[in-house]
Amino acid sequence: MALQATDLGIGDTHVQVLTDNLTRTQIVMYAGASGDYNPLHSDEVYTTQVAGYPSVFAHGMLTMGMTGRALTDWVGIGRLTAYGVRFAKQVWPGDALTATVTVEAIRDSGGTVIADLSVVTCNQHGEEVVRGSASARLDP
Amino acid sequence: MTLYPYMSDEPEEIPMPVSRFPVESAHIAMFARAIADPNPVYYDPDQAAASEIGGVPAPPTFVQASAQFDPDYLLRPAFDGPWFGSGRDATGVVRDPAQGGGLHAEQHYTYHRPLLAGDVLSAISRDGEQWEKQGRRGGALQFRETITEYRDSSGELVVTARSIGVRTGQVVEQG
C-alpha cells in the first residue's frame, strides 16, 4: 500500500525493528546474495587473527538494505526516488537494530507529491549505525 | 572515529562497471531474504504482477549485487590464485599493513524508475569529487566519490549510485 499525501504530516514517524539478534548466518546470506565475499564479514579466523577485529561484522550495505525495508514497508514498493546513508558505526553479530523514519517535508515536484524523509538506524545501545535520507512519491 | 562520525570501518565495496547485469526474480528473492525482508512481492511473481508496478521489484539497494557480474571483482575468490581469507592458514595473502585500507563511508541512490525482474542493466562508473581531511590519529584521509549509472537495454537511466570511499594512510583502528 502506497501512502497518500493526505495521510502524512511533517514530523510523522515510522519505527521498525529490523532484527533483534543479527546472526552470522544472516551476514553470510548477504555475502552470497550481494557477491561481496570480503572475509571480514564471514571468516572469523581471518577477521580475528589477521585483521585484528573481535569478530566478523556486517556489511554496511546489509544495514543499509535492512533499513531500506523500513522505507518500502512504509511508503510502498516502487515509490522511492532517492535513498542514501552515511555509515556511522559497525554492526556486529548479536546486535539489535531499529530504524526510525521521519517525514521532514512534503513538496510538489512538477505535479508529483514527494515526501522527503530522514532515516536513522540505531543499535541496542542507542548508537546510530547508519543515518541518511530518502524521498518517496506519494499518491495525491 | 569521533572526528569523522560517519566514517565506518567498512571496507570499500564499490562495484566496478559491468557490461551485463540481468535482474532476475530468483536473485531478487535471495537478496530480499539476505536483507531479512519478508514482503511477498519479492517472492511471489503472481502477486508482484498484480501489484501497482506490475512485476517483481528490486529492493532499494539491489544494484549493489552487480558485483556478481563483474568478472574481476576483488572481493570474490578467483577461480585460481590466492585468496586473502583463511584456508590452511589464517590468510592466503600477506598484505602490507602500512598501506592502510579503503572504507565505505557513504552510499546514495537516485531511482529514475522502478527496477524490475526482467530488466537487463549495464553499469558505467566515473570518478566524482575528491577531497582530503586530516585524520584524528594523524595521517591524511582521502575521500573519493564514484558515480555509477545503471541503464537498461534501451539505454534508459534506471538507477544512479553515488558511493563515497575513504582511503587512509595507515591501518584504521576501531572507533
| DSSP string for B6-74 | T--SPBP-PPPPEEEEE--HHHHHHHHHHTT---GGGT-HHHHHTSTT-S-BPPTTGGGGGGGG-TT-T
Structure-model confidence comparison of residues B150 and A1, the more confident one = B150
**Segments making up each domain of chain B, as ranges:** 18-74+94-168
Where is average pLDDT lowest: A117-121, B40-44, B80-84, B171-175? B171-175
Which B residues 82-141 touch A at CB under 8 Å? Answer: 83-86, 90-91, 104-111, 114
Q: Does B27 touch chain A (CB under 8 A)?
A: yes
Residue of B nearest to A24 (CA): B34
Confidence (pLDDT) at A1:
53
Q: In angstroms, how far is CA A25 from the centroid of its own chain?
A: 18
Give the ranges where chain A is alpha helix by DSSP (H): 24-34, 44-45, 60-75
At residue A24, does pLDDT exceed 50? Answer: yes
User: Cα–Cα–Cα angle for B65, A131, A138, nearest 5°?
Assistant: 80
Considering only CB atoms, B36 lies closest to which of A26, A37, A53, namely: A26
Q: Does A88 touch chain B (CB under 8 A)?
A: yes
Distance CA B107, CA A82 (A): 11
ipTM here: 0.96
CA B136 to chain A, closest CA, distance in angstroms equals 16
Classified by CATH at the fold level, domain B18-74+94-168 comes out as: Thiol Ester Dehydrase; Chain A (3.10.129)
Confidence (pLDDT) at A2:
64
Per CB-CB distance under 8 Å, the chain A contacts of B31 are: 33-34, 65
Region of A54 please: left (phi>0), alpha (psi -120 to 50) or beta: alpha
At residue B20, does pLDDT exceed 90? Answer: yes
Q: Name the band, by pLDDT with cuts 50, 70 and 90, for residue B103.
A: confident
**Segments making up each domain of chain A, as ranges:** 5-22+58-138
Where is average pLDDT lowest: B83-92, B96-105, B142-151? B96-105
pLDDT tens digits, one per residue of A48-83: 999 899 999 999 999 999 999 999 999 999 999 999
Place of cell 555509515: A87
Confidence (pLDDT) at B135:
75
CA A96 to each of CA A20, A55, A136, A137, B32: distance values in angstroms, whole numbers, following the listed order: 4, 16, 26, 30, 19
Evaluate whether the domain defined by A5-22+58-138 bears CATH number 2.40.30.170.
no
| Interchain CB distance below 8 Å, B60 and A65 | yes
Considering only CB atoms, B111 lies closest to which of A82, A90, A131, namely: A82
- Residues B63/A53, Cβ–Cβ less than 8 Å: no
